[in-house]
Structure 1
Amino acid sequence: MSESDSTTADISASTDRTDDEDINVQIDGFTKVFQNQTGDDVVAVEDVNIDIRRGEFLVFVGPSGCGKTTTLRTVAGLETPTEGRIIIEDEDVTGLDPRERGIAMVFQNYALYPHMTVRKNMSFPLRIRNYPETEIDERVQEAAQLLEIADLLDRKPSQLSGGQQQRVALGRAIVREPSVFLMDEPLSNLDAKLRVQMRTELNEIHQRVGKTTIYVTHDQAEAMTLGDRVAVLNNGELQQIGKPQKLYDRPTNRFVAGFIGEPPMNFMDIDLVSSNDAFRIQRETMDLELPDDVNSELDGYASELDDVTFGVRPEDLHDASEVQTVPVTEENTFEANVKVVEPMGSDKFLTVEPFEDESEISARVSPDSGASVGDIVTLVVDMDKVHIFDEQTGDNVTKHR
Structure 2
Amino acid sequence: MKDTRQKWFKDAKYGLFIHWGLYSLLGGEHKGQKTEHIAEWIMNYLDIPAEEYRELAKSFRGENFSAEDIVRRAKEEWGMQYLVFTSKHHEGFAMWDSKCSDYNVVKASPYGKDVLKEFQLACRKYGMKFCLYYSQAQDWDDPDGYAYGKDNSHKNFRKYMDNKCIPQLKELLTEYGEISILWFDTPMDMKEEESRELIELVKSYQPACIISGRIGNGLGEYLSTGDNFIPRLTYEGDWEVPATLNDTWGFNKDDENWKEPDDILRLLLKIVSRGGNYLLNIGPDGTGKVPERSCEILSEVGKYVRENAEAIFGTKRVDLYPYDLEWAQLTRKDHKLYVHVLRPQMRIELLNVANRVKGAYLVRDGQKLVCRARKICEGDSMVEVDLPADLKRGRKYAVCIELEEEEPIFEPIRG
| TM-score (norm. length: structure 1) | 0.30
Give the structure with the larger strand fraction. Answer: 1
TM-score normalised by the chain length of structure 2:
0.29
Which is higher, the Rg of structure 1 or of structure 2? Answer: 1
